[in-house]
A and B are shown apart, each in its own frame.
Chain A
Amino acid sequence: MGGGASVELLLLLATPLTGALTLGLLGARRFAPELNIGFSLLTFLAACALAVRVVAAGRLIVAHDQFFIDAFNVFLVTLTAFVGLTTAIFSRPYMRVELEHGRVRSTQLRLYHSMYQLFMSTMLVALTTNNMGLLWVAMEAATLSTVLLVTLYRTAASLEAGWKYFILCGVGIAQALFGTILLYFAAEHAIGAEGVSALLWTHLNGVKGQLEPAVLGLAFVFLLVGYGTKVGLAPLHSWLPDAHAEGPTPISAVLSGLLLNVAIYAVVRCKVLVEGSLHSALPSRMLMGFGLLSVVLAVFLLWRQRDIKRLFAYSSIEHMGIITFAFGMGGAVANFAALLHMTVHSLTKSAIFFAAGHAAQKAGSQLMDQIRGLITVSPTIGWGLMMGSLAILGLPPFGVFASEFLILTTAMREQPWATPILLTALAVAFAAIFGRVQPMVFGETTAKRLPHPPALLPVFVHLGLVLVLGLYIPPYLADWYRAAARLIGGGG
């Protein structure tokens, strides 16, 4: 405990914020994308330094207990900073093409870059803060900073998506605020009027056994509904596909790859507290129920999609459902698997969005019927999309297979009733996605091969990492996951 400071953390949080201000003030400059990459790179380096320090010295509590880093959030911080960096790299050529196509104006790019950095900074604050109230503030700020990004193209559909996103997440997040108030109320009741410290997660975690179960149960319902809306859990998922499909592709990638993770992180933090107070399976059951519902709903809606980005947005809902279900089961193995799944899903899904974005850009349409023969047009895009889809569908040897396998085997042991549902869902998802992706990649086309293959480095870096994680998890990473899994606890 204490009021120590951490240069790494300061750098981590200050860099994107400075980036947002700089990019906002500088206006539409030609080097803005490079600057964006630069700030993202700095953030990533700070995250790495922070990770090294936490791995070496254990958990870190700084700035009057307002921020804390433990095994659970430090890996998410690193992941967020990494995907943030690769997305920034991807976004440079992608947005340039969008500019050339006249879909955005250069003045809008100023907003885009500034908000991108702001969005990164809100997510990092949400991940590192120790204050449940600040967590809420950061989550809401994350919504607000992305609303205008979703509506960047100013089309009717994107405005609608933005409105839905704003209202649904706004309402959801208001429920979360109520849950936070209840949490504060319970904390004050248990540990007396301590003002600020009553909302600190570390304090709450210390006294969770004394917190009033009735209030905490109620608080959890509100928190789960609130943050669950942001996770995209059914039945409050409807903003997610719209926002993903209508916003610019880099934004879809960070929404799917990062924001959903941060929202799940918030839910899990709350679950740890509530479970410690309730001593009942209610939070677990709720997570499993919502998770399973999301999986089932998402896979059946997968069939009806015609838009490539919407297709993968629904796939995100499915995977968020799987992760939520795994956290609901709890216990060392399931938590481990869930964390691994968060990592690989984040990497794979952003890679898919990168590839899909390029594919749609080349075809001039997001409709899957109009995207054909990617393998002839551009083998890199074709293979990127194919590999990504195979990875997300859980084919070995990709990392998604490892995590899904772990989750399924745990489910067989702990919650046998859910196994057939999960298996069916995965099979349906496989058929739906593979059935769509295959003609897009290998279908007949009259289009000519592109003269220059597009730079798809981020795609293959992500997929490479996922592949590595499927074959071999480095021991320090595994230790990390295990420590985080222990922190989360729960289960039998």
Chain B
Amino acid sequence: MNGAPLTLQLLNFCAALLLLLSFAMLSQRRIVNLVNLLAVQGSVLLLATLLLAARTGQHHLYLSAALTLGLKVILLPWLLHRLIRRLGVYWDAEPLLNISGTMLVGVLTVVFAFGLAQPISQLASTATRNAIGIAVAVVLLSFLMMITRRKAMSQVVGFLSMENGLFFGAMSATYGMPMVVEFGVALDVLVAVLVLGIFFFQIREQFDSLDLHHLESLREEAGHGGRS
């Protein structure tokens, strides 16, 4: 990329930062930090969107940047912080796989993502096509985080981070989705977090904890009377 324009270099840097943040999330056990990392991820995404908008001159990207700022940098982290305070969940339990193991799997995941994104990157005509691989990696790493975590809160952060990755992928492959779709997706994400907020209170009311250990009783053969 020698001699590439500065905006593109910065964009690549943002992509690299997103990957780094994914790993940071994967290794972070304090839920408050996790949410902060999510906010930082949103900010990097915002920066990338703005850079791309400046580079391509596509106006709808400014709109989607505003959406990112409002939703992913400010509103969602604020909602989650509030939720954490009200529910009093600050630490995740020991993850299912220890941190080093998770990291190792994470590295392999990135390699896999790279392979997956290869055919797409080759076809893409956007200047940011190299970042597609990173976007796929972010998605898969978030997925990994959802699998290895026990607390509902961490899983939600993983879910949102996955959405961020998808958003970044859409951006680097096609300069973003049509605005209608982007708005719809944003709305869904917002509603999802609100629904989850209600949901968490229900869970805690029932179990006094947000540990998903409790949510492991329904098995294939289990018969639940329900009317006990």
Contact = CB atoms under 8 A, between A and B. Distances in A.
B206 A131 contact: no
Given A178-B169, A366-B226, A148 B198 contact: yes
Interface in B183-205: 184-185, 187-188, 191-192, 195-196, 198-199, 202-203, 205
B205 A365 contact: no
B180 A133 contact: yes
Given A137-B187, A147-B195, A189 B125 contact: yes
B214 to A, nearest CB: 7
A170 B192 contact: yes
B199 A167 contact: no
A368 B223 CA distance: 9
Contacts of B214: 156, 160
Given A156-B206, A195-B178, A199-B177, A305 B223 contact: yes
Given A160-B214, A184-B174, 10 more contacts: A131-B180, A156-B214, A157-B217, A157-B224, A164-B218, A177-B166, A182-B173, A184-B170, A218-B120, A365-B227
A8 interface: no
B52 interface: no
B170 A148 contact: no
A151 interface: yes
19 contacts: A133-B184, A133-B185, A137-B185, A147-B199, A148-B198, A155-B206, A163-B215, A178-B139, A182-B120, A182-B173, A185-B120, A185-B123, A185-B124, A188-B174, A199-B178, A304-B220, A307-B223, A365-B225, A366-B223
A275 B173 CA distance: 23
A159 to B, nearest CB: 5
A368 B155 CA distance: 35
A166 interface: yes
Interface in B136-177: 136, 139, 143, 146, 152, 155, 159, 162-163, 166, 169-170, 173-174, 177
Contact of B215 (A136, A159, A195, A214): A159
Given A141-B188, A156-B214, A163-B215, A245 B226 contact: yes
B177 A148 contact: no
Contacts, number: 174
B223 A306 contact: yes
B1 interface: no
B207 interface: yes
Contact of A364 (B136, B185, B221, B227): B227
Interface string A127-166: 0000101101100110010011001011111111111101
A294 to B, nearest CB: 14
Contacts of B227: 360, 364-366
A214 B122 CA distance: 11
A301 interface: yes
Contacts of A199: 177-178, 181
Contacts of B203: 159, 163
Contacts of B179: 196
A195 B223 CA distance: 51
Contacts of B162: 171, 174
A148 B196 CA distance: 9
Interface of A: 66, 131, 133-134, 136-137, 140-141, 144, 147-148, 151, 153-164, 166-167, 170-171, 174, 177-178, 180-182, 184-185, 188-189, 195-196, 198-199, 212, 214-215, 218, 238, 241-242, 245-246, 301, 304-307, 310, 360, 364-368, 370
Contacts of A178: 136, 139, 166, 169
A310 B223 contact: yes
A310 B187 CA distance: 33
A317 to B, nearest CB: 12
A67 B169 CA distance: 27
Contacts of A158: 226
Contacts of A195: 178
A159 B217 CA distance: 11
Contacts of B181: 131, 133-134, 136-137, 180, 199
A215 B120 contact: yes
Q: Which of A166, A181, A306 has the most B CB atoms < 10 Å from its CB?
A: A181
In terms of DSSP, what is the predominant structure of the interface of chain A? helix
A157 B226 contact: yes
A212 B226 CA distance: 51
Contacts of B169: 178, 181
Contacts of B192: 140, 144, 166, 170
Nearest to B224: A157
A121 to B, nearest CB: 14
B199 A163 contact: yes
B226 A155 contact: yes
B212 interface: yes
A181 B119 CA distance: 14
B188 A140 contact: yes
A166 B199 contact: yes
A310 to B, nearest CB: 7
A305 B159 CA distance: 32
Nearest to A178: B166
A160 B191 contact: no
Q: Which 5 A-B pairs have the closest CB atoms?
A: A306-B223, A133-B181, A137-B184, A304-B221, A160-B215
B116 interface: yes
Contact of B195 (A136, A148, A242, A368): A148
A160 B217 contact: yes
B171 to A, nearest CB: 10
Contacts of A304: 220-221
Given A174-B163, A212-B123, A137 B139 contact: no
Contacts of B221: 304-306
Contacts of B226: 153, 155, 157-158, 245-246, 307, 365-366
B202 A159 contact: yes
B150 to A, nearest CB: 12
Most chain A CB within 10 A, of B123, B169, B174, B198, is at: B174
B159 A170 contact: yes
B155 A167 contact: yes
Given A164-B218, A177-B166, A196 B202 contact: no
A174 B159 CA distance: 9
Nearest to A155: B226
Residue picked from B146, B188, B221, most chain A C-beta under 10 Å: B188
Nearest to A300: B220
